[in-house]
Chain A
Amino acid sequence: MFDLQAAAPTPVPFDPAAIEGMSDAELDALAFGVIGLDKAGTVHRYNLYESRLARLDRSQVVGRDFFAEVARCARGNAFEGHFRRLVRDEDSDPGVVRFDFTFDFAFGSQDVVIEMVRVLPARNVYLFVNRSRVGAPRPEFPVEDLGTLQAALAPNEAALGVRRDSLERRIVEIEWSVLSALRATCDRLAPDSWMLFCSEWGVSWGRRLAVDLETVAIERHARSLRELPMRTVADLLSEQLRARGWGQLELDFSDAPRGLLGLRVARSALAESARTSGRSTMSASFACPLLAGCLGAVLSHVAQRKLTVREVACAAHGSGPCELVAVGPSRREAVDAAVSNGVRGLDNFRTLLFGNVADSEVGHAR
């Protein structure tokens, strides 16, 4: 049995002092905006959260003058002035400034707390953008000073084969047959390791999806995911997956007090792409490690600790929805062992984990 331990999602820590050494993927897992500027004000880092809420594609932002080309609403003493002083007074201590600001875009205004840090030795300046409210446009704000729109940075993209959704994220439309072809290729070339590969891919995807959910949470509720009721978070997650065509996710909370979260995915795109006919050549293993990794990363992000999601029943090899379980570290080995021993189905896992032990006697180890 392959070992999915390496694919277990771990919340990414954040150390501002180490920002220069962080990869783009690590910055993209942060639930606040990060903008890196050189001394001239040219953008050299721009993370996913900032890209999503500013509705600008990182590929079009990096290399541009932040104040002249990207965020005209930040020109002036109230924002740009802090940056210029931080750059000019190179020996000032501690090289950090914090202030409130409001970003104004054509699509809305955003109240933020800016933390601006000068990083040695390159003396680049990083902006950490912590949003507290996303709302309607301020009608009194001068139109000519609004933040730049994606269409202005890269006009006529549609003619160049670039598609974007309503939030200016670049999207690619693929048919289900592409997923089926991918699965078949995995089975042929890496029959023993493709699940680990897909699980890792899912974790990486899930970290980005979690950031996307955070932006929705701040837009709709002015709160982080952790602060919202569990069912609201589950509904947001389900809504996002459904809207993107991955199927219908439902969370079963009934065993949460005993340490297990049940998840069901009806009409899973992954499972159905692996069940194209009654004579599939694909291996009789699970079809959704990609989704399991993704869900594990999202739940770990919300929990701020490592949680594991394992598929325990697959619609590719039967009827009904795919079933998965989410558990903490104390139950992970038991779940993995059960999967290896052929235990299938959410109900069987309940029996395995809880047996006939009375609720009051069940431990709650974390």
Chain B
Amino acid sequence: MLADRASGPGASPSARPSLVGLLPRHEATPSGELLDMVARGFEALDPDKTPAGEFLLSL
């Protein structure tokens, strides 16, 4: 019965970032790795490991 069908994998809304502010946004916060990278001047950038969003901070 569609009307009673479970609405997704969890009983409550997932923890993904809210788009409209119903829940606090999960603002991107610098990881410890990123802060280290900034301190060391991006020499530790590794295109095979560093997330693209952080990698492009070097530009």
* Of A39-47, A198-206, A253-261, the one touching chain B: A253-261
Q: Which B residues touch A100, using CB under 8 A? A: 7-10, 12-14
Q: Which B residues touch A299, using CB under 8 A? A: 56
Q: Which B residues touch A260, using CB under 8 A? A: 59
Cross-chain contact of B14 among A81, A132, A256, A359 (Cβ < 8 A): A132
The residues of B with any CB-CB pair to A shorter than 8 Å are: 1-10, 12-14, 16-23, 28, 38, 41-43, 45, 47-53, 55-59
* Smallest CB separation, B46 vs chain A (Å): 8
Find out whether the CB atom of A231 lies under 8 angstroms from the CB atom of B48.
yes
Find out whether the CB atom of B19 lies under 8 angstroms from the CB atom of A115.
yes
Taken together as a complex, chains A and B put the C-alpha atoms of A299 and B53 apart, in Å, by 9
Q: Which B residues touch A366, using CB under 8 A? A: 57-59
Q: Which B residues touch A115, using CB under 8 A? A: 18-20, 22
B-contacting residues, A72-121, CB 8 Å = 75-79, 81, 96-102, 111-113, 115, 117
Find out whether the CB atom of A364 lies under 8 angstroms from the CB atom of B2.
no
Find out whether the CB atom of A302 lies under 8 angstroms from the CB atom of B42.
no
B-contacting residues, A50-90, CB 8 Å = 75-79, 81
Q: Which A residues touch B16, using CB under 8 A? A: 113, 130, 132
Q: Which B residues touch A256, using CB under 8 A? A: 42, 45, 47, 55, 58-59
Find out whether the CB atom of B42 lies under 8 angstroms from the CB atom of A257.
yes
* Smallest CB separation, A206 vs chain B (Å): 14
A79-B7, A257-B43 known; A304+B53 contact, CB < 8 A: yes
The residues of A with any CB-CB pair to B shorter than 8 Å are: 14, 16, 32, 75-79, 81, 96-102, 111-113, 115, 117, 128, 130, 132, 145, 225-234, 251, 253, 256-261, 299, 302-305, 307, 326-328, 331, 359-360, 362, 364, 366
* Smallest CB separation, A357 vs chain B (Å): 13
A76-B2, A128-B19 known; A102+B7 contact, CB < 8 A: yes
Find out whether the CB atom of A257 lies under 8 angstroms from the CB atom of B7.
no
* Smallest CB separation, A356 vs chain B (Å): 18
Q: Which A residues touch B38, using CB under 8 A? A: 364
Cross-chain contact of A229 among B22, B50, B56, B59 (Cβ < 8 A): B50
Closest A residue to B50 by CB, please name it.
A230
Q: Which A residues touch B8, using CB under 8 A? A: 99-102, 111-112
User: A113-B13, A145-B2, A228-B51 known; 18 other A-B pairs, CB under 8 Å?
Assistant: A32-B19, A98-B18, A112-B8, A113-B14, A115-B20, A128-B20, A132-B14, A225-B53, A226-B51, A227-B52, A229-B50, A233-B52, A234-B47, A253-B47, A258-B58, A303-B56, A304-B28, A359-B43
* Smallest CB separation, B49 vs chain A (Å): 6
Closest B residue to A329 by CB, please name it.
B59
Q: Which B residues touch A130, using CB under 8 A? A: 16-17, 19
A75-B2, A226-B53, A259-B58 known; A96+B20 contact, CB < 8 A: yes
A77-B4, A78-B6, A102-B9 known; A257+B58 contact, CB < 8 A: yes
Most A CB atoms within 10 A — which of B2, B7, B59?
Answer: B59
Q: Which B residues touch A98, using CB under 8 A? A: 13, 18, 20, 22-23
Taken together as a complex, chains A and B put the C-alpha atoms of A99 and B47 apart, in Å, by 36
Cross-chain contact of A226 among B4, B42, B45, B52 (Cβ < 8 A): B52
Cross-chain contact of B22 among A77, A96, A225, A233 (Cβ < 8 A): A96
* 27 A-B residue pairs with CB within 8 Å: A16-B19, A78-B2, A79-B7, A81-B3, A96-B22, A99-B8, A100-B9, A100-B13, A111-B8, A115-B19, A128-B19, A132-B16, A145-B2, A225-B52, A231-B48, A256-B59, A257-B43, A258-B58, A261-B59, A302-B52, A302-B53, A303-B57, A303-B59, A307-B59, A360-B41, A362-B41, A364-B41
